Amino acid sequence: MITAVVYSESGGTYKTTMTANIAVALERMGLNTLVVDLDPQEGNLTSLFDAGEHRSDPDADNLVKHILDMPDGDFDDLIEKTEEGVDILPSHDMLGDFTSNLEQKISYETGMKNMSREEYPRFELLYDLFWEKQELHEEYDAVLIDPNARAEDLLYNAIFALRTLVAPVKPAGKGNLSLEGLEELVGNMESQLDIEIGLSCVVPSGVGQTNAHRQYQEQFENTDAFDTPVAIGNRESLMDAMWEARGSAFKVVEERWKTFERDGEMVSEAGQRRVRDRELETLRRLYELAWFIATDTFDTDVDPVLELDIRDHEKRIIDLRGSERTEATTA
């Protein structure tokens, strides 16, 4: 089974859009896939997939209530089906108060059980919910989490539950993690949680054509410390269009979503985007990334062929079989 947390310490690394694209790619490869949104901020995975109608309702049942063992309904009722077939456990505003609610639970239960706070398994609650109580491994082939970036209880629960990281990194500014810094980050998490954490791969994202960006990409590609199967170019237009399409980059290209000006106003419509070779190449790299996670990290058999049914165009085929890993060609 594939289990991975897509984690980055900083913004601007396409973390949320990458989670969505990996999930949709895995679903297209034939795997029943669940994504879990643990980010309470606006502009999260829930918004991207147009889910979580009740995420601002304090009385609505939500994931936090189930993690803290005070549910208001069935767990299965929390899960929504997206238009692209991926299931999502949506975010809820209660995630923002997770630590304070957890502290109340710890105070109550340690008092009742006559145990110290240090003995309380505060980072194991999501693990128990997913694998012991709900047995998600019986229903899903892949579970991905898009966490909050802060090193606190929610993040540690996510990592304890899934044990594997996919790390998008940005080749500039505060996202410019060094190789040593990334290894130190994983080591610190392992010490904090007292578990082994696998680093599936590092994904340089938003990579431009400058010498600095190319050198940064080469730094990661030439190390033996961890795998860098692909780098994602600077595709702001494609990634931004995902929010208008309410779905993955695959959906943007297939339905040809574009934001443009009309009569002095910005509008977004399907059927307007040009089919660009560089964006088809980006889809190939995203599909290859999901393929690498499935086959190399988790030894899972998946469909290496992606068919793109592009609106008002002939189908395009992306085939990852063989050493050539061909670019998209007309079917």
pLDDT in tens, 258-289: 988 888 888 889 999 999 999 999 999 999 99
Tokens 């105070």 sit on residue: 107
pLDDT-derived band of residue 209, with 50, 70 and 90 as boundaries? low
Over pLDDT 90: what percentage of the chain?
A: 69
Helix (H) or strand (E) holding 15: helix 15-28
d(CA 26, CA 6): 14
| DSSP states along 246-267 | TS-HHHHHHHT-EEEEETTEEE
Task: Determine whether domain 2-236+285-300 maps to CATH 3.40.50.300.
Answer: yes
First to last CA, the chain: 32
**Mean pLDDT (whole number) for 312-330:** 67
CA 32, 38, 39, 40 torsion: positive or negative?
positive
pLDDT-derived band of residue 317, with 50, 70 and 90 as boundaries? very high
Contact 127, 161 (CB under 8 A): yes
- Mean pLDDT comparison of 1-15, 82-96, 314-328, highest-scoring range: 82-96
pLDDT-derived band of residue 328, with 50, 70 and 90 as boundaries? very low
**Spatial strand order in the sheet of 232-233:** 80-81, 87-89, 33-38, 142-147, 2-6, 164-169, 198-207, 232-233
d(CA 44, CA 4): 17
Amino acid 311: pLDDT: 94
pLDDT-derived band of residue 8, with 50, 70 and 90 as boundaries? confident
Amino acid 13: pLDDT: 66
Amino acid 266: pLDDT: 85
Lowest mean pLDDT among 7-21, 96-110, 241-255: 7-21
As a whole number of Å, the CA-based R_g of the chain is: 20
Among the listed residues 149, 143, 144, the one whose alpha carbon sits nearest the alpha carbon of residue 43: 149
Between 326 and 276, name the one with better pLDDT. Answer: 276
**Mean pLDDT (whole number) for 134-160:** 94
Tokens of 204: 């340089």
Domains in the chain: boundaries? 2-236+285-300
